[in-house]
């Protein structure tokens, strides 16, 4: 099928050429002014943001400065930080390592806000080592896979999912990291997102309809380790508000479809190491990406066919490593566990 807009543009250019030819033959001295006016009336196209641009703005000052200023301003207006961005420069290889290690043994309720912020900016040593491994490997997902325990853990029935024929995970089994501190850190990320979400208008719960999974990726070009979390996974079917059938896993959902759907994409980035020295170039980040209609993220990063659920796809950010699920395997007493699939 031909392109109607292209045909219109061709016709328009042809008509201008004919007009210019006529003008040149009868009023040759005015022709240059005609073309100058035509050229000056054209407007440059709006800059189109990419996932790579978004990651650059959350990286080093040098990476951020390479982004078109107008585009950068629009993207920044869609960042809702759960942990303050760009903390004071400090050396994470100093004696604060011991402090970071002690944080791992505390529950989220036992830590104060400063400790939690610190744990995002400069995570426990095993997380830092995994982040450096990701970059040193050239962004190879296999490097992360090799840090997983080969033991296969079957995914049990989660909150009655099997009764409804719902398959929540990519595979019916999962794995965990060999280093238990890495698994604990993943749990911490889920919990701090739930805990701090209301401060920016994101009220979510840890359950199989709402918030239970994220996607581990290695960023294109830099190899930076990150996780794109998705909340409000299965909004309740409602004929007037959300008339979309999302399959077996949606059945029984009471997750409302409202303006907080704009905030369902949550991004964690590990600290960024140098690929040539032992230095660290940027601290960790935890930010909600506001995909409200009319904003640049909605316009440029949300595919049109899923704009009603505001989904940013992890493979736009880089190479996908695995899904990380935080699932309640308990009964009357909740028992949340990590499954990497």
Q: For 285-306, what is each residue's pLDDT tens digit?
A: 999 999 999 999 999 999 999 9
Phi and psi at 339, nearest 5°, equal -130, 115
Beta bridge partners of 216: 227, 322
Element (H, E) at 229: strand 225-230
Mean model confidence pLDDT for the chain: 85
Residue 109 has pLDDT above 70, yes or no: no
- pLDDT for 332 equals 84
Residue 35 has pLDDT above 60, yes or no: no
Mean pLDDT throughout 249-263? 97
pLDDT value of position 26? 39
- Note whether 237 and 285 are within 8 A (CB): no
Three-class secondary structure assignment of 269-337? ECCEECCCCCCEEECCEEEEECCCCCCHHHHHCCCHHHCCCCCCCHHHCEEEEEEEEEEECCCCCCCEE
**Model confidence, pTM:** 0.84
Distances in whole angstroms, Cα of residue 55 to Cα of each of 20, 223, 272, 329? 47, 11, 11, 34
pLDDT of 185 > 70? The answer is yes
Query: pLDDT tens-digit profile of 191-224?
Result: 999 999 999 999 999 999 999 999 999 999 999 9
Q: Report whether pLDDT(147) > 50.
A: yes
pLDDT of res. 29: 36
Share of the chain above pLDDT 90, in %: 77
Contact 285, 269 (CB under 8 A): yes
pLDDT band at 9 (very low <50, low <70, confident <90, very high): very low
Specify whether the CB–CB gap between 59 and 224 falls below 8 A.
yes
Q: Tell me what pLDDT residue 90 has.
A: 60
Confidence of residue 97 (pLDDT cuts 50, 70, 90): very low
**pLDDT score recorded for residue 139:** 97
CB burial of 148-164 (b: ≥16 within 10 Å; e: otherwise) equals: beeeeeebeebbebeee
For the chain, counts of helices (H) and of strands (E): 11, 11
Residue 25 has pLDDT above 50, yes or no: no
At 86 the pLDDT is 76
Return the pLDDT at 1. Answer: 39
DSSP string, 102-166: HHTTS-GGGS-HHHHHHHHHS--HHHHHHHHHHHHTTS-HHHHHTTB----EE----TTTTTTT-
Treating both helix axes as pointing N-terminal to C-terminal, what angle do 180-196 and 113-121 enclose, rounded to 10 degrees?
120
């Amino acid at each position: 099928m031909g392109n109607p807009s292209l045909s219109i543009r061709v016709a328009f250019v042809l008509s201008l050429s004919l007009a210019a030819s006529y003008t040149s033959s009868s009023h040759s001295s005015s022709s240059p002014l005609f073309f100058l006016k035509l050229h000056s009336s054209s407007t440059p196209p709006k800059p189109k943001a990419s996932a790579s641009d978004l990651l650059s703005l959350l990286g080093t000052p040098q990476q951020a400065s390479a982004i078109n200023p107008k585009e950068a301003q629009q993207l920044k207006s869609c960042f809702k930080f759960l942990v303050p961005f760009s903390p004071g420069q400090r050396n994470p290889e100093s004696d604060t390592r011991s402090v970071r290690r002690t944080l791992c043994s505390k529950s989220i309720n036992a830590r104060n806000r400063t400790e939690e912020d610190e744990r995002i900016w400069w995570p426990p040593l095993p997380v830092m080592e995994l982040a450096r491994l990701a970059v040193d490997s050239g962004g190879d997902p296999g490097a992360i896979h090799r840090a997983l325990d080969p033991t296969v853990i079957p995914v049990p029935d989660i909150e009655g999912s099997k009764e409804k024929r719902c398959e929540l995970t990519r595979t019916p089994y999962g794995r965990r990291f060999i280093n238990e501190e890495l698994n604990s850190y993943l749990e911490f990320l889920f919990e701090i997102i739930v805990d701090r979400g209301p401060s920016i208008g994101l009220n979510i719960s840890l359950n199989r309809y709402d918030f239970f999974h994220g996607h581990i990726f290695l960023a294109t070009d830099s190899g930076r380790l990150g996780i794109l979390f998705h909340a409000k996974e299965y909004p309740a079917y409602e004929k007037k508000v959300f008339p979309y059938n999302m399959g077996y896993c949606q059945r029984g959902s009471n997750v409302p479809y409202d303006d907080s759907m704009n905030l369902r994409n949550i991004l964690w980035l590990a600290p960024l190491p140098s690929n040539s020295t032992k230095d660290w170039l940027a601290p960790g980040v935890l930010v909600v990406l506001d995909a409200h209609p009319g904003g640049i993220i909605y316009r440029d990063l949300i595919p049109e066919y899923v704009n009603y659920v505001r989904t940013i796809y992890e493979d736009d950010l880089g190479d996908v490593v695995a899904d990380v699920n935080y699932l309640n395997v308990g009964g009357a007493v909740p028992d949340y566990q990590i499954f990497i699939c």
